[in-house]
Amino acid sequence: MSTALFVSPHLDDVAFSCGGTLAALKSKGWTVALITVFTRSVAEPQGFALECQTAKGLGPEVDYMALRREEDRAFAKRLGVDVLAWGDLEEAPHRGYASAEALFQPPRADDAIQAEVARRLKPVLWELTPSRVFVPQALGSHVDHVQVVRAVRGLGIPSHRVWYYRDTPYAVRQPDAKPDPALPREQRPLAVDITAHLTTKLEGCLCYGTQLGFQFGGAEGVAPMLQAFHHREAAAHGRSGAAELFLGQVLPTASPA
């Protein structure tokens, strides 16, 4: 049985970006594993870090990341994730990135999180030995996504095993956004037909209730945005129905989901 490992910078990125592919692989009998890197609760957040939760209607007394981990657990249950893991590292607002603008600048010189990301991912890779690893392209250049991409590149995973997903909703809002330069140059576009799994993906996205207002304008905005987006993605790749697009390699003996 094949194993797919989905690497998510934050507690929602895989669901929004490639949850349909996760559902498609699960339906084919694959073992699916999900690890989210930046999941640590921080007591008494201050400044911009606190603002990130109060802007979503959550008071200072709420353990924001604990709430988000529960959302992630619900997503995993809904989509049948076999292995769920959290990297327990701090998000960028807790690492000195003190504004929304700072999140989309190159990594700070004093941000040494990339090496720690690699250390957290290594044992997961050794234990699961996945035949396919899904990693963000870092579209939109969020610093946490960039750090994850660059950490994975340093782990020595064979290139044909790594598929880079289009960070969503960044890919919707910034259709001309480019992948991080750390991606290998030999990658080519790959499409996964998620037509039969789009409803499941949408249901999974709804598990992340704390994020829906900010990302989609509310729960009612999830289906219209993602349905239209994935139909455009399919059409851009010469297909009908709905698709999720990736950058990657396919060996002659391999095939997309």
CA distance 35 to 89: 12
Q: Cα(161)–Cα(132) distance, rounded to whole angstroms?
A: 5
- What type of residue is 85? A
| Ranges under pLDDT 50 in the chain | 252-255
Fold classification of 3-248 is Rossmann fold (3.40.50)
pLDDT reported for residue 60: 92
pLDDT for the residue numbered 257:
56
**Cα–Cα distance measured from residue 82 to residue 48, given in angstroms and rounded to the nearest whole number:** 35
Is residue 176 within 8 A of residue 57, CB to CB? The reply is no
* CA dist., res. 40 & res. 19, Å (int): 23
- Domain edges within the chain: 3-248
Q: Measured in whole angstroms, how far is the alpha carbon of residue 117 from the centre of its chain?
A: 14
Give the separation between CA 39 and CA 199, rounded to whole angstroms: 27
Check: CB of residue 77 under 8 Å from CB of residue 204: no
Strand order in the sheet with 31-38: 83-89, 31-38, 3-8, 132-136, 162-165, 243-248, 188-193
The whole-number pLDDT of residue 256 equals 53
Residue 74 CB neighbours (<10 A): 15
Q: How far apart (Å, rounded) are the C-alpha atoms in residues 9 and 247?
A: 18
- Expressed in angstroms, the distance from the first to the final Cα of the chain is 14
Q: Rounded CA gap, 57 and 109, in Å? A: 33
